[in-house]
Chain A
């Protein structure tokens, strides 16, 4: 984690003009984020790529989690596409053995944050600082004074180094104790960023009920996580379909942005792709880079318009083995039919993958599970396939990836278990 903090050079190039970002108003009259004096609502995503797609679909901001060797390039690419960046400044997690009572560790972290701020404070793509991400602990009440006092120390330091950009700290959802601790021990934080999945659109009401009077942003949102959904009898989380996922993103985006008084905006998660439980749970893009219906849904919520090219979306399925225990070596005729609003010709790619065993918490990197060769064969170009269940007992998922050949695609999966 400390590798995030190595500065490439002590300060940014002198030709950078920088931006001025400020927050006006109050909780009663409503807050307003101003970038170079102009009102700015964060319509964003968490990620490091596909800025052109974001810009083309009405988005304006990305959020990162830490500073590293690629940050300069990322900021330049964002700026070239007219995208602003909330630059994440990674703070240590106790679950990764960071000790907020160890002066040496704190000194190292402070130096790294200082170097990062000095390096990028004048970059024209910079919107705000994202101080930490869920460092209060995802399984605790998140009210540790020692952590929040350190966050405040860093927030104050950043504001001295860079008075032109607000400081946001990011927590994993909220509860009354956590919000109270931030108010008590970190008063120099300007914005509370909240990562929330199920019920993200109600975060504002919860914060208000807990007494939060500063602005907030929803810093990660999307669909319910694997920890929030029904599981099969062998404890595999049942992933929402691509259609359901698009609905979650649309509802959450619309709902969050309805709070125009206290909410400064939101970042959909993840504007890219990642393996977390499965290859398709959180990624708004396919591993090969095509945008999915989730991007379309967010774009529709941001702008009221669909993208020029729509992604295919699941219409109908016949999956007799889904969520079932079955025998090995059995054949199942399966169907996953997709609809493409533009009438594009779709290609279907099927594969069987072992259930992930590298499951972690807090979004930590997970290894992709093994694929099973020759277990499924497409029968036509319209979503019919023949699945032959693997002979080796265990948990699996049948995946289908559908692409329109024009930059959009979709992926769904159905778990099954071979006895």
Chain B
């Protein structure tokens, strides 16, 4: 029996070690956390993606809200490189979108809607760089998803 206990213990430690490795927050920057969230989501590791989005929100949500207010007060909205100056807003907004997508995949629709609504109502100016060469607005995408989920609910 002792052998089994110790084997189970070792396995648990291995699992813990693997989990720790999986939850590598890197330099803890919002950019790193968002990039890792996208990557985990793309790999289908939904729980891991949520860990990164949660950490990003925990660390940078207040900064993001401040940046939303700052940008809203600007007469001329930022374009090009200047968009990156609103790093917390952009990354936390993107993380909320990823969170909504994850929750949809997990069929936790109320939680998906909650994430999308925070994004639309509080971080509507966030932007996300697409590698194809342009910025897109997670809040616009979230707005579409909210309506889609509303429609799906009416069909079922």
Q: Besides A247-B151, A255-B144, 12 other CB < 8 A contacts?
A: A201-B140, A201-B143, A205-B140, A247-B148, A250-B148, A250-B151, A251-B144, A251-B148, A251-B151, A255-B143, A255-B147, A339-B155
Closest to B147 in A: A251
Distance in angstroms between the alpha carbons of A339 and B152 in the assembled complex: 13
Complex contact B147–A246 (CB within 8 A): no
Contacting A at CB under 8 A, from B116-153, are 137, 140, 143-144, 147-148, 151-152
Distance in angstroms between the alpha carbons of A201 and B148 in the assembled complex: 13
The verdict on B1 contacting chain A, using a C-beta distance below 8 Å, is no
CB contact under 8 A between A202 and B140, given known A300-B154, A313-B155: yes
Q: What 1/0 flags go to A219-257 for Cβ under 8 Å of B?
A: 000000000000000000000000100110011001100
A245 to chain B, nearest CB (A): 11
Contact pick for A243, options B140, B143, B155, CB 8 Å: B155
The verdict on A297 contacting chain B, using a C-beta distance below 8 Å, is yes
A224 to chain B, nearest CB (A): 12
Q: Which residues of B contact A255 (CB under 8 A)?
A: 143-144, 147
Q: Which residues of A contact B140 (CB under 8 A)?
A: 201-202, 205
Distance in angstroms between the alpha carbons of A297 and B77 in the assembled complex: 35
Distance in angstroms between the alpha carbons of A250 and B150 in the assembled complex: 10
Contacting B at CB under 8 A, from A189-222, are 201-202, 205, 209
* Interchain residue pairs A-B with the least CB separation, the first 10: A251-B147, A250-B151, A247-B148, A247-B151, A251-B144, A254-B147, A251-B148, A202-B140, A255-B147, A201-B144
Q: What 1/0 flags go to A40-77 for Cβ under 8 Å of B?
A: 00000000000000000000000000000000000000
Contacting A at CB under 8 A, from B21-35, are none
Chain A residues with a Cβ under 8 A of chain B: 201-202, 205, 209, 243, 246-247, 250-251, 254-255, 297, 300, 313, 339
B102 to chain A, nearest CB (A): 20
- Most B CB contacts (10 A, CB to CB) among A205, A254, A339 go to A254
5 pairs, CB–CB < 8 Å, chain A vs chain B = A201-B140, A246-B151, A251-B148, A255-B144, A297-B151
Distance in angstroms between the alpha carbons of A311 and B147 in the assembled complex: 20
Distance in angstroms between the alpha carbons of A339 and B156 in the assembled complex: 9
Closest to A306 in B: B154
B109 to chain A, nearest CB (A): 14
Contact pick for A247, options B77, B143, B152, CB 8 Å: B152
Closest to A209 in B: B77
Q: Which residues of A contact B152 (CB under 8 A)?
A: 247
Closest to B154 in A: A300
A218 to chain B, nearest CB (A): 15
Q: Which residues of B contact A254 (CB under 8 A)?
A: 147
Closest to B77 in A: A209
Distance in angstroms between the alpha carbons of A205 and B148 in the assembled complex: 20
Distance in angstroms between the alpha carbons of A246 and B148 in the assembled complex: 10
Distance in angstroms between the alpha carbons of A313 and B143 in the assembled complex: 24
Distance in angstroms between the alpha carbons of A189 and B137 in the assembled complex: 30
Distance in angstroms between the alpha carbons of A313 and B152 in the assembled complex: 12
Distance in angstroms between the alpha carbons of A34 and B77 in the assembled complex: 33
Distance in angstroms between the alpha carbons of A254 and B145 in the assembled complex: 12
- Most B CB contacts (10 A, CB to CB) among A209, A247, A255, A297 go to A247
Distance in angstroms between the alpha carbons of A313 and B155 in the assembled complex: 9
Distance in angstroms between the alpha carbons of A98 and B155 in the assembled complex: 47
Distance in angstroms between the alpha carbons of A201 and B147 in the assembled complex: 11
Q: Which residues of A contact B147 (CB under 8 A)?
A: 250-251, 254-255
Distance in angstroms between the alpha carbons of A297 and B152 in the assembled complex: 11
Q: Which residues of B contact A201 (CB under 8 A)?
A: 140, 143-144
Q: Which residues of A contact B143 (CB under 8 A)?
A: 201, 255
Closest to A248 in B: B148
Q: Which residues of B contact A313 (CB under 8 A)?
A: 155
Q: Which residues of A contact B144 (CB under 8 A)?
A: 201, 251, 255
Distance in angstroms between the alpha carbons of A300 and B153 in the assembled complex: 13
Distance in angstroms between the alpha carbons of A310 and B143 in the assembled complex: 26
- Most A CB contacts (10 A, CB to CB) among B140, B147, B148 go to B147
Q: Which residues of A contact B151 (CB under 8 A)?
A: 246-247, 250-251, 297, 300
A3 to chain B, nearest CB (A): 41
Distance in angstroms between the alpha carbons of A250 and B77 in the assembled complex: 30
Q: Which residues of B contact A297 (CB under 8 A)?
A: 151
